[in-house]
Amino acid sequence: MPRAVTMPDSTVIAIELSAVVIAMESATPTVLLTRSIDRCRAPMLPAGDFDPRHHRTFELGLRDRVAHQTGLALDYVEQLYTFGDQDRLQPDAPGEITRHISIGHLGLVSQQQTPRDEQTLWASWYDHFPWEDYRHGRPAIIDMIIAPALSRWTNEAPDEATREARRQRAQLAFGLNGARWVDTRVLERFELLYEAGLAPEAQHHDQAEVITTLPGEPLMSDHRRILATAMDRLRGKLRYRPVIFDLLPEHFTLSQLQLTIEAIIGCRLHKQNFRRALDRTGLVVPTGAVDTTTGGRPAERFRFCREQWRQQMAPGVQTPLAHSEYQ
């Protein structure tokens, strides 16, 4: 549990560091999770208490905790957000007044590393957010399950103004009634489902009714919200910073780069437009080697031109999408 500090009013403040560690496995973005020994609780993100006596910074503390808990060394780390909603965790003892603060971080590794023990595992982030994967068209779950459930929630609103506000939120979040799908609204979509009582995690906060049959594996406490925040950050950031290359091996093909971007944003790219835009950035240069394992014509291998990016501070990769139904 997070290190606790007792305030003058007897409220206990507990601070932890949590990590969303992302790696690619084939064309699947995976997240590192840990589970309880008895496996009777939902999995959780790697997390541990912040020790100000031994951790000079939050990032160093986070790296240390992840290494200790999972045996993994992170390539890229950035702070996400501070999560401190009241009652985000159940109290340890009856009558205890504790404010649990979690400082979330995003960590990237260029390949899956074997976890230290069997309680640590890699899982597709789409196991937890199946409605976020638009690569093969609009996910059926949206129109078959989510839209009807949100419609019922909308109709249960106490007045017309609230009904209209809920209707507009659902439409914009999930691309309903002709609205476009926007990939960087992961957190907005999850918080809407949570507020509507459609996420199992809402049960902790005494929602009147929770539909637990909604596809998507829950995580402990608010860790799925932390994961949604990380997905939002990564989807947006790869467009203005070249963080996508922290998820790739040193040498890669352009098809591998495109598939990795598509896996992260959950949308297909227009191949020709993507490559034209990539050429203009100067972010990748050929290595002179080819990949003969593709099963067809050998594909040229490239590398990330980090020195060029440092000199000109080129933006991230452009993402011209293949279909107009999403932005």
Q: What is the pLDDT of residues 139-151, one digit of tens each?
A: 999 999 999 999 9
Task: Give the pLDDT score at 49.
Answer: 83
Q: Residue 124 half-sphere exposure, CB side, CA atoms within 13 Å? A: 14
Helix, strand or coil, per DSSP, at residue 81:
strand
Per-residue pLDDT tens for 106-132? 999 988 887 777 788 999 999 999 999
Give me the sheet containing 299-304, strands edge to edge: 251-253, 299-304, 284-291
- Strands 12-25 and 98-108, how do they pair? parallel
**How does strand 12-25 pair with strand 28-34?**
antiparallel
pLDDT band at 206 (very low <50, low <70, confident <90, very high): very low
Distance CA 184, CA 181 (A): 9
pLDDT at 208: 47
> Which of 4-8, 75-79, 172-176 bottoms out in mean pLDDT, i.e. has the lowest?
4-8
* pLDDT reported for residue 32: 94
C-alpha–C-alpha distance, residues 46 and 41, integer Å: 15
Question: pLDDT tens digits for 236-250?
Answer: 999 989 999 999 999
Mean pLDDT over 263-282 rounds to 94
Average pLDDT of the residues in 256-285: 94
Residue 214 pLDDT exceeds 90: no
What average pLDDT does the segment 221-240 reach?
94
Q: How far is CA 154 from CA 79, 132, 210, 227, in A?
A: 35, 22, 15, 26
300-322: pLDDT as tens digits: 999 998 876 666 665 778 888 88
| In the chain, where the domains are located | 3-127, 130-216, 239-312
Topology classification of domain 239-312:
Arc Repressor Mutant, subunit A (1.10.10)
Q: How confident is the model at residue 205 (pLDDT cuts 50, 70, 90)?
A: very low
For the entire predicted model, the pTM comes to 0.88
pLDDT in tens, 37-56: 766 688 999 988 888 888 88
Fold match, 3-127 / 239-312: no
Task: Return the beta strands (E) in the chain as ranges.
Answer: 3-6, 12-25, 28-34, 47-49, 76-83, 98-108, 120-124, 251-253, 284-291, 299-304
- Predicted pLDDT of residue 73: 83
Helix (H) or strand (E) run with residue 310 in it = helix 306-312
Q: How are the residues of the chain apportioned to helix, strand and coil, as percentages rounded to the nearest 5? A: 35, 25, 40
Residue 37 sits at the vertex; the CA angle it makes with 225 and 109, to the nearest 5 degrees, is 50
Is the pLDDT score of 290 beyond 80? yes
Cα–Cα distance for residue pair 276/46, rounded to 1 Å:
39
The CATH number for 3-127, chosen from 1.10.260.40, 3.30.300.130, 3.90.79.10, 3.50.50.60, is 3.90.79.10
Radius of gyration of the chain (CA): 21
pLDDT, mean over the chain: 85
Percent of the chain having pLDDT more than 90? 53
